[in-house]
Chains A and B, each alone.
Chain A
């Protein structure tokens, strides 16, 4: 038994006695460990997460977090990129970096017999990254190419345009790829300085699932990550997000579309808001299931779109409420009119309480799937930890859900949404729709954005 187990190790059990838990250790050095032990398969998946992400990037260096996440794994002081990859892939393991506005993560998986070696390589990458100028230049060229190729995917285009329109200059509105100018301005020194500032013990969570236990993981952490300095969490409150005024329809104009991607939405509420769960139930009941009114009216009744969904995002700041559908060009205007009509009905509390009771029981009965595998369990706990929800968040989900009253859930849209101030983003061929859009019954302000600008 290592010293770690003498600290505050506890098994966080879920509501169901048959549900397996996650072991959590708050080490005195500030690092939080989360482990979902399961010996049924000889594999381990693991993640090292920082409680800070792209929101930390200075304005003129947007994209720094994304670049750091990837560049860390492209060569260390001991191993050039190729040699490093040869080692990782030689074990059959994988390592990758990921980043968002509020967190940064490195992780991977390996066969049990190669876990320690893979974990040691991840430690080497994080503690001794080369941040070579040549690799930085290469990655920047890669990201610029990605900026072009992502235009080929209409769904990606619509999500990017929606985010930008919704959040504007707020950090949530930033392009994860940064700007052309900000990428060009990045130097290895910027990366080194920021990476060193963020990779501190109080800012770190280490999570693992599978053929591993807390004692082993804690021991490996002591052995391979001893050089990480002390330091506090960089998790912080997000600045207030902007509020849309009126109804604006943004058209991302792309040639030869036979179909239109539509997203309707607006900022809603923070993930930490006590009403977030109720709002999530409301959105699920309205458009999160196959039988929900949104899907029913658009797909089942009219056959207008393969999918039609509503969701609420969960962020430290105000996450967005969104409704999406993808009708044929000829059905676009009718679909937009219908989405607005259904949205207003949702906002006004016109759906019966029984719908929200249904949404609540759906989420409650779905819960076992959220924690069915060790990987899923540890992901849920890691998410809660990154959001700063506290120890009991995941396992208390059924109780928190059970305490919600359907009638109160029904009132959530009116409390956090607006029937007069929201945006609609579509990716379509503008000339095909120009006249019809001008005749929309709710007369939105229309802004056309050339696809080249995206």
Chain B
């Protein structure tokens, strides 16, 4: 059950008293369906968002750091992700392996993820005994006490190189995605892969990881999110006690490179041992916080959502040119991409399908969608929103993502509100503004045994 403002103020006072550290209530963040997360701040800059949830006797604990592959300079690609792996290697007080063993013994589901704008660590546990305090102990400890060795770095580097082989080098989807981002972005760091280039992974040193740790893993660069069947005072007091003494640090400013407007058609291709062509047709789009983002999300659904999506139904069902067709929009902090991915039927070339995609984009920009299409899309998006709020982990992820990328977890409800307000005119304008066929990037994977054009 969500806290109201008055209760949250009381929780902050009680937590301060119990922990011996100042705790400031910093407002409620309205989510969706009446849910509100309470935001608290510690003097060292740490932000805590709590959402009591008694749906099941479990809790989700997540720590979100505002650092991802966007913050990596050239030559250091993949450092944020590889460092995320190293965070599981033990600290001055907890040796290698203890964290994982202790978590698994308690039935925890643990993991971590790195993307362009953030890195986060998650643990979900039964809300029993001292599980909560144990997680707090480990998470607050590894925010400052990580103890890396060369041996740990070397071993984990090999793991990540194998992850890259799995997800990129031996994967047509992964290779194509990497090529597409490289081609679409010429200035912004969104153009390089989160997993990093093999040469960069090979070159990273222990010292560089230690410097990265000191730069970005600071309480004032982190959001802790707790959702679950726990008493609110216990949540807040526990965090204040565990993290209150950690010192804030200067965090490097984010990179400032701005992607120049694309004014031409860019093409790139890779050859792969495959019988089927794949292509990604992409356009520069707005950041997630921009008002146009909602209209473009609706446009993506109108074009490829379900069997009735315009592009999907023509390419996959009616003309049988493609095996699949998807459209999506990146949920990035800075301007990202609107992406249409097509997988051709074996033996067919992507040019014909690409022409149909372009014709649909032009039609949408010229005539806009039908009212019925917009309505359908809103229902589908609403259903998708509810799906991600099913469990404690899903709620925590939404809170963490929006607090980290938009600076406010309540942006979740803003997004939903904006989607509800999108009308035919907004979709048309957004299509006209962003989906300009003369400024598209087309990346494709071609069968290596045949003479084909990108």
Which candidate, B41-49, B53-61, B420-428, B433-441, is the interface stretch facing chain A? B53-61
CB closest chain-A residue, reference B198: A258
- In the bound complex, residues from chain A placing their C-beta under 8 Å from that of B391 are 372-373, 376
Please tell me the size bucket of the interface on B.
35 or more
User: Is the beta-carbon distance between A369 and B124 smaller than 8 angstroms?
Assistant: yes
User: Is the beta-carbon distance between A43 and B387 smaller than 8 angstroms?
Assistant: yes
Please measure, in the bound complex, the distance between the C-alpha atom of A42 and the C-alpha atom of B306, giving whole angstroms. 21
CB closest chain-B residue, reference A149: B276
User: Is the beta-carbon distance between B273 and A94 smaller than 8 angstroms?
Assistant: no
- In the bound complex, residues from chain B placing their C-beta under 8 Å from that of A153 are 171
- In the bound complex, residues from chain A placing their C-beta under 8 Å from that of B106 are 365
Chain B 80-111, CB within 8 Å of chain A: the 1/0 string? 00000000000000000100110011111110
User: Is the beta-carbon distance between A373 and B162 smaller than 8 angstroms?
Assistant: no
Please measure, in the bound complex, the distance between the C-alpha atom of A91 and the C-alpha atom of B377, giving whole angstroms. 9
User: Is the beta-carbon distance between A326 and B162 smaller than 8 angstroms?
Assistant: yes
Contact of A38 among B55, B107, B108, B124 (CB under 8 A): B55
Contact of A328 among B124, B162, B376 (CB under 8 A): B162
Please measure, in the bound complex, the distance between the C-alpha atom of A154 and the C-alpha atom of B110, giving whole angstroms. 27
Q: Does A289 belong to the interface (CB within 8 Å)?
A: yes
- In the bound complex, residues from chain A placing their C-beta under 8 Å from that of B276 are 145, 148-149, 152
Q: CB within 8 Å of B: which of A269-320?
A: 289-291, 299-306
Contact of A259 among B158, B170, B274, B372 (CB under 8 A): B170
Please measure, in the bound complex, the distance between the C-alpha atom of A254 and the C-alpha atom of B154, giving whole angstroms. 29
Q: B88 CB to closest chain A CB, in angstroms?
A: 8
Contact of A369 among B109, B159, B273, B380 (CB under 8 A): B109
Known A-B contacts A43-B387, A362-B107; A90 and B379 likewise in contact (beta carbons under 8 Å): yes
User: Is the beta-carbon distance between A291 and B379 smaller than 8 angstroms?
Assistant: no
User: Is the beta-carbon distance between A93 and B383 smaller than 8 angstroms?
Assistant: yes
- In the bound complex, residues from chain B placing their C-beta under 8 Å from that of A326 are 162, 165-166
Known A-B contacts A20-B56, A92-B379; A148 and B346 likewise in contact (beta carbons under 8 Å): yes
- In the bound complex, residues from chain B placing their C-beta under 8 Å from that of A254 are 273
User: Is the beta-carbon distance between A303 and B158 smaller than 8 angstroms?
Assistant: yes
Q: A234 CB to closest chain B CB, in angstroms?
A: 30
Please measure, in the bound complex, the distance between the C-alpha atom of A301 and the C-alpha atom of B156, giving whole angstroms. 9
Q: CB within 8 Å of A: which of B242-271?
A: none
Please measure, in the bound complex, the distance between the C-alpha atom of A254 and the C-alpha atom of B106, giving whole angstroms. 42
- In the bound complex, residues from chain B placing their C-beta under 8 Å from that of A94 are 306, 383
Q: Mind listing 18 A-B residue pairs with CB under 8 Å?
A: A19-B57, A20-B56, A43-B383, A43-B386, A91-B379, A92-B382, A94-B306, A148-B346, A149-B346, A151-B274, A154-B171, A259-B166, A259-B170, A300-B155, A305-B162, A326-B162, A368-B58, A375-B390
Chain A interface residues (CB < 8 Å from chain B): 16, 18-20, 38, 40-43, 81-82, 85-86, 88-94, 109-111, 114, 138, 141-142, 145-146, 148-149, 151-154, 254-259, 289-291, 299-306, 326-328, 358, 361-369, 371-373, 375-376
* Known A358-B105, A362-B105; 7 more pairs at CB < 8 Å: A41-B386, A89-B305, A254-B273, A257-B170, A259-B169, A302-B155, A368-B58
